[in-house]
Structure 1
Amino acid sequence: MDEEGIPPTALCEISLLNLLSHSIYVVRLLAVEQAAKNGKPVLYLVFEFLNTDLKKYLDVYRRGPNPRPLPPHQVKNFLFQLCKGVAHCHGHGVLHRDLKPQNLLVDKEKGILKIADLGLGRAFTVPMKSYTHEIVTLWYRAPEVLLGATHYSTGVDMWSVGCIFAEMVRRQALFPGDSELQQLLHIFRLLGTPTEEQWPGVSGLRDWHEFPQWKPQSLARAVPTLEPEGIDLLSKMLQLDPANRISAIAAIDHPYFNSLDKF
């Protein structure tokens, strides 16, 4: 806290968390406490405790003493919960904008996954406001953000969900770029370089260049162990044109989840 009280960013996060906390798929804010530290007022946000996050959970499978794939039912269960949580955020007019395995907390005993760290989340309004460009962690960053789009919507989160889905199946990141350009090249190599026909307006985005012309590759080859319904859902999440990306609410009803006991 500063001389003027609680910073607006903290107030924003607290109000968002209060709004979203009644979903079991979003980490619960239990209390907000004011205390003094070195004579200065500080604010503590008290959350429910979960014992790990999805990155650490996956690390056990990929780096443990006996590396093994995540069971398909577990992938399906976690993805369903993630889609439910994202649908809840979007239904309340909130974009997360930084979905990644480190921001998804896991209760190992109960097999529950919850969205955390809404620090970059922000309420979105229609018409879309112009947002800052520097957000989502690179590997999960949507192509429209990488290309400098200033107006974007719920599709940025759904792209991240698709990347997380593929990573749970493969046990390694689908697009592990180390710069914005590298990230785009990874994406275009697999999904094909977009054209104006496929993605109207793409060449007018701020950071568009003449990229190498790649043809789309088979998504099934990138995630060979994923069942056909899973490939179909992943392909709908990883549409280059955000207007064509599946919404969280539609994803929940996808046939891929038909075998789950939904709760």
Structure 2
Amino acid sequence: MTIYPVETGNFKLDGGAMFGVVPKSIWNRTNPADSNNMIDIAARSLLIQDGNRLILIDSGMGNKQSEKFFSYYYRWGDHTLDNSLKELGFHRDDVTDVFMTHLHFDHCGGSIQWNNDRTGYEPAFKNARFWTNQAHWEWATNPNAREKASFLKENLLPMQESGQLHFVKRNDTPFLEKSELGFGILFVDGHTEKQMLPHIKYKGKNIVFVADLIPTVGHIPLPYVIGYDTRPLLTLDEKAKFLDNTVESNSLLFFEHDAYNQLCTLKHTEKGVRLDELFSFNEIFKPQ
């Protein structure tokens, strides 16, 4: 198995929305805002090469939305999914599986693209299976008013119409479930219904793709819960258990949304679980 971090593009989000009830005077120290109160955000995926499978975890925003849509998110930098794959020696057509932690547009938008004559949409990975879970699919395709703007039908329905949509099977394991893709999955419900966090054993270490449970290093302290969460009190409970387990298992957190930090370890302190050390992916897992 070989794992690669994949940068799909950077954007900005409102700092207040990203930190909920935490005052700006505190979160601005770790995630400094610009004059519009926007903070830098990444859309970072993981690519897993394992035998004859090439698995992409999340696919970023994509590029099919309107200029007006993208104007809300202040895209910046030069990263694109296609260029990142090319730098690694891959093409979209090589991808066999796209695993989506959840179906908000910044996590799955890159899975669907315009067709050649821009009359409709088609899968951006023509040889891949798209993985979600049935409970989350039903939640996303019949969205509540709070999340409706994040669940875009043009990102979702083409997966089903193409026949490439698959559901991860669930069992009764209370914490970590082994998936069909070869890695463990933790299901969490505070941010959205049945968000899935992959746990991957790699070169003797456990990597946790934390998605929107802990978007950036600045979100590690327990009360730092994003304002987008549908059930913030549930997030607190899920996050408390997760942070303790991460320290006890000596796991590495892989950040999808931290524009400047890829991996970290955690430690127990008198104030609770806090950041221990920061690493780039290549510092821990030197490329061959």
Same fold (TM over 0.5): no
Choose between structure 1 and 2: higher helix proportion. 1
Choose between structure 1 and 2: higher strand proportion. 2
- Which TM-score applies when normalising by structure 2? 0.27
**Rg larger for:** 1
- Which TM-score applies when normalising by structure 1? 0.29
